[in-house]
Chain A
Amino acid sequence: MGVISAIGHSRAESLNSLRTSTDGISKLQGFQSILADTRPVGEVRISNTDLSNKLNVDANWTRTALLGLHAVNEAIEGIDLNAIDQRRIGLISANTVGGMDKTEGFYRDFLQNGQTGDIKQLLNHPCGTATELIANHLGIQGFVSTINTACSSSVNAIMLAARLIDAGKLDLVIAGGADALCCFTLNGFNSLMILDKEPSRPFDANRNGLNLGEGAGYLVLVSDQFLVRHGIKSLATVRGFANTNDAYHQTASSPEGRGSYDAMSQALTMAGLPPNEIDYINLHGTGTINNDSSEGTAIQRLFGAKAPRLSSTKAFTGHTLGASGGIEAVFSILALQEGCVFPNLRFENPIPELQLIPQLTFESGLPIRNVMSNSFGFGGNCSSIIFSNN
């Protein structure tokens, strides 16, 4: 697995930040916006030029593709893709903004005069193209696919990978997601009035919105037979998952969190686990009034009075949209590997109607066997996935 976000450019750096409660939320530097001073973000502190040089790719790559390849490279370290039948390899990468960072530049000129604007800046606009750039670079010629279900996108990518392997269609799939910060999404979330002017406080009574972030996270998934054939051990098992729809409102979740409840309970059913076997929940926990109360209500309904340890790592990374499910999948597996849980930063008071107290400090040496990770998005999309120790 591989990860890059505001709290580190690798698994090791991320774990260190999580262990030391070092968040990555700060003032926007990567591009100009009137919101830069007032809306803190979780930005990856490396420029596009440095990224493309480091990755040895063309300078016209979009930031989403650059962040994606960076994390994919870490995920496939030590795996010889050439030793596997090319048609049996997949890359399923989610994103929501595609090449919007470059499109914005083109469009500023184009809007003035339809014959102006550097059209090359536009060619990598489609979401699918970010995935193609990475696939081409790695020489992947099997199943190359992109999912965009807003903020639940990359959990859906991991689910699809697991299903394709289970159906015998592919042997190895790199699955996750990437998204770059851009002016478009920053303004979009600001127009919805759900950006906190301070670092976000997920699941706190006084939470006041989310911070946007950027990054990428990927897992390499293979079948049991593949493990046996190659004599290798896996880091964790994808044990259960579900994708449902809240069908309540275009952006808001239903008060009772019916979509998230369905996703979590169906994932448990698929995993064959009772709720009390879940040792840690990596929350969607954006820090908006609506999400946290809806997600919390669904958790209390499903898990009863004794909820598992839970925290939102978005207080560290910001909400990385299409990348969040991939990044948080990596964090969830780190929790399994290290027997640890991550703090829910900046929590002070529980949401009055819920009384859910998230994990307050980094704790290790715990028997973490099953971790649930939630990702919900606009359009009512709700996904939940369970990773287990072998």
Chain B
Amino acid sequence: MAAYILGMGKISPGESAITEMGSSSGLETRTCQEPDYGQWIDGKQMRRLSRILKMSYAAASMAIADSKTSEIDGVIVGTGLGCMEDTQSFLAKMIEQNEFALNPTPFIQSTHNTIAGTIALMRGYRGYNQTYTQNFLSFEQALVDVLMLANSDSSKNYLLGAADEIIPALVLISQRLMKEENISKMTIGEGACFFVLSGDKPEGLCCEIIDVETIFHPKNMDLKARLEQFLDQCGILGVQIELLALGSVSTFGSDMTLQGLVKQVIPQAAISHFKDQCGEYSSAGSYGLSSLAEQLMESTHRSAKYGILINVSLGKYYSFTLLRSCPVTA
């Protein structure tokens, strides 16, 4: 069970995109710095595609270009809330127009699989096509699938990705939820991150995804035990891990406890908090994976270096993703 990253592409929030939504609410948003999509998408499609579809298509195109491969044998996408702009647009029109004379385009583009479907359609990919939507595990479950695919046929290339978008209604609803639940501070984000993966090791410095596990556990999970079991299955010790990308948000209280538990299992690792950059969103793990992979690839020394992505949301969604840099062997 392993796959190698051949290419990556992302549209993500940058530093300048931090917006405080009114001084009293305590809600911050991290919205994406969007490029000029013209280099990937023609004028006709540009008018038709919603923002999440443009972000996804552009990020996918970047990953494919970065991979320098021409063949893509499958498209596997995770999205927590799917294409919200189109969903909301159709819903609003349906109510406002009392079900009369509705334009079908937003309905067509409202289903979660529009992201993977649009990529397949625009690039002519007729192979495997799959969409996961398990809230905060959506991306990692797509990765579970790709690792199985790469394991059963290592010669093929798979496009893996995730996308979620912020829309104004989500901001408003988040503020109301914070008020109701007495949450003083929250940062919501968005993004589209794509990867080209293969079971065959490419030449040169690369990054290997060794394994991934997703856990939905509503209460009282023994995080330490589950993490130890995961590392045991992967055949490595916690002390071997040098980098830890931790995706937890202090909003929900238990951040320091969580970090403490993780430190007990993985004592040596340098910790980075990737949600400080991308904010919290359903498929934020994809941003975490890309930043951890980038960090690992920066390593220039000659031995393999291990990194782990631990993504925890709302105290019930957990995932562990183990990575290793593969240095150039003489």
Tell whether, in the assembled complex, residue B177 and residue A258 are in contact, meaning their CB atoms are under 8 Å apart: no
Name A125's closest neighbour in chain B (CB-CB): B81
From known contacts A184-B90, A243-B128, A245-B117, infer whether A379 and B81 are also in contact, taking CB-CB under 8 Å. Answer: no
List chain A residues, Cβ under 8 A from B216.
132, 135, 141, 144
Q: How far is the CB of B17 from chain A (nearest CB, A)?
A: 23
Name B135's closest neighbour in chain A (CB-CB): A128
From known contacts A126-B81, A250-B118, infer whether A191 and B92 are also in contact, taking CB-CB under 8 Å. Answer: no
A303 sits at the interface (CB 8 A): no
A-B interface pairs (CB < 8 A), number: 169
Contact of A111 among B96, B104, B214, B217 (CB under 8 A): B96
Q: Mark A150-174, 1 if CB is under 8 A from B, else 0.
A: 1000001000100110010000000
Name B226's closest neighbour in chain A (CB-CB): A87
Tell whether, in the assembled complex, residue B151 and residue A245 are in contact, meaning their CB atoms are under 8 Å apart: no
Q: Mark A237-274, 1 if CB is under 8 A from B, else 0.
A: 00000011111111100000011001000000000000
List chain A residues, Cβ under 8 A from B180.
119
List chain B residues, Cβ under 8 A from A250.
108-109, 114, 117-118, 121
List chain B residues, Cβ under 8 A from A377.
113
Range for the number of chain A residues in contact with chain B: 35 or more
Name A188's closest neighbour in chain B (CB-CB): B107
B120 sits at the interface (CB 8 A): yes
Tell whether, in the assembled complex, residue B133 and residue A126 are in contact, meaning their CB atoms are under 8 Å apart: yes
Q: How far is the CA of A146 from the CA of B137 in the complex (A)?
A: 10
Of the candidates A129, A187, A190, A244, the one having the most CB atoms from chain B within 10 angstroms of its own CB is A187
Q: How far is the CA of A150 from the CA of B114 in the complex (A)?
A: 9
Of the candidates A136, A143, A262, the one having the most CB atoms from chain B within 10 angstroms of its own CB is A143
Of B168-176, B187-195, B242-250, B293-301, which binds chain A? B168-176
Q: How far is the CA of A191 from the CA of B103 in the complex (A)?
A: 6
From known contacts A110-B169, A127-B82, infer whether A149 and B113 are also in contact, taking CB-CB under 8 Å. Answer: yes
Of the candidates A96, A108, A146, A184, the one having the most CB atoms from chain B within 10 angstroms of its own CB is A146
Q: How far is the CB of A275 from chain B (nearest CB, A)?
A: 21
Q: How far is the CA of A288 from the CA of B217 in the complex (A)?
A: 42
Q: How far is the CB of A255 from chain B (nearest CB, A)?
A: 15
B99 sits at the interface (CB 8 A): yes
Of the candidates B75, B94, B172, B173, the one having the most CB atoms from chain A within 10 angstroms of its own CB is B94
A76 sits at the interface (CB 8 A): no
Tell whether, in the assembled complex, residue A148 and residue B133 are in contact, meaning their CB atoms are under 8 Å apart: yes
Tell whether, in the assembled complex, residue B126 and residue A34 are in contact, meaning their CB atoms are under 8 Å apart: no
B161 sits at the interface (CB 8 A): no
Q: How far is the CA of A115 from the CA of B111 in the complex (A)?
A: 27
Q: Mark B80-98, 1 if CB is under 8 A from A, else 0.
A: 1110000000111011101
B11 sits at the interface (CB 8 A): no
Tell whether, in the assembled complex, residue A128 and residue B138 are in contact, meaning their CB atoms are under 8 Å apart: yes
Contact of B111 among A114, A128, A247, A378 (CB under 8 A): A378
B141 sits at the interface (CB 8 A): yes
A147 sits at the interface (CB 8 A): yes
Q: How far is the CA of A143 from the CA of B99 in the complex (A)?
A: 39
Q: How far is the CB of B151 from chain A (nearest CB, A)?
A: 7
A122 sits at the interface (CB 8 A): yes
A381 sits at the interface (CB 8 A): yes
B50 sits at the interface (CB 8 A): no
Tell whether, in the assembled complex, residue A258 and residue B82 are in contact, meaning their CB atoms are under 8 Å apart: no
From known contacts A160-B145, A188-B110, A380-B117, infer whether A149 and B129 are also in contact, taking CB-CB under 8 Å. Answer: yes
B38 sits at the interface (CB 8 A): no
Name A104's closest neighbour in chain B (CB-CB): B91
Q: How far is the CA of A156 from the CA of B129 in the complex (A)?
A: 10
Q: How far is the CB of A326 from chain B (nearest CB, A)?
A: 16
Tell whether, in the assembled complex, residue A245 and residue B102 are in contact, meaning their CB atoms are under 8 Å apart: no
* CB-contacts of B52-97 with A (<8 A): 75, 80-82, 90-92, 94-96
A131 sits at the interface (CB 8 A): yes
Contact of A147 among B1, B109, B131 (CB under 8 A): B131
Name B91's closest neighbour in chain A (CB-CB): A107
Contact of B120 among A135, A143, A146, A379 (CB under 8 A): A379
A-B complex: 8 closest residue pairs judged by Cβ atoms: A379-B117, A188-B107, A191-B104, A148-B112, A245-B129, A191-B102, A128-B135, A128-B134
Jot down 30 A-B pairs with beta carbons below 8 A, ordered by A. A96-B111, A104-B91, A126-B282, A128-B80, A128-B138, A136-B218, A141-B216, A147-B131, A149-B116, A163-B148, A184-B94, A188-B90, A190-B102, A191-B104, A192-B107, A243-B130, A245-B75, A245-B120, A245-B126, A245-B129, A246-B126, A247-B120, A250-B108, A250-B109, A250-B118, A378-B111, A378-B113, A379-B113, A379-B114, A380-B129
List 9 extra interface pairs beyond A34-B100, A119-B173, CB under 8 A.
Answer: A34-B99, A132-B135, A136-B218, A141-B217, A145-B214, A146-B133, A191-B103, A251-B108, A379-B116
